[in-house]
Structure 1
Amino acid sequence: MRRDQLKRLKQLETENQRLRRAVSDLTLDKMVLAEAARGNF
């Protein structure tokens, strides 16, 4: 693999981690709000 390809791969991996964290946070927020809406708080 060329150096520029390795650099791009690392960038994509970093972005993927960031997006996965964002999705996890939003999913957790949604679950908390759903519980609160049902009155289970």
Structure 2
Amino acid sequence: MSCGQLKRLKELEKENQRLRRAVSDLTLDKLILTEAAKGNF
């Protein structure tokens, strides 16, 4: 693997981590809002 490829891989891994965290946060928000809408708070 070349130096450029390794750098790109690290960038993609960082972006993937950021996106996973965003999805996790949004999923949690959705669950909280769903429960609140049901009146289970």
TM-score with structure 2 setting the length: 0.99
> Which letter maps to 1:34?
T
Structure 1 stretches of at least 4 aligned residues deviating more than 2 Å after TM superposition: none
> Which ranges of structure 1 fall in alignment gaps of 5 or more residues?
none
- The answer as to 2:28 corresponding to 1:33 is no
- Cα RMSD of the aligned pairs, angstroms, is 0.2
Q: How many residues align?
A: 41
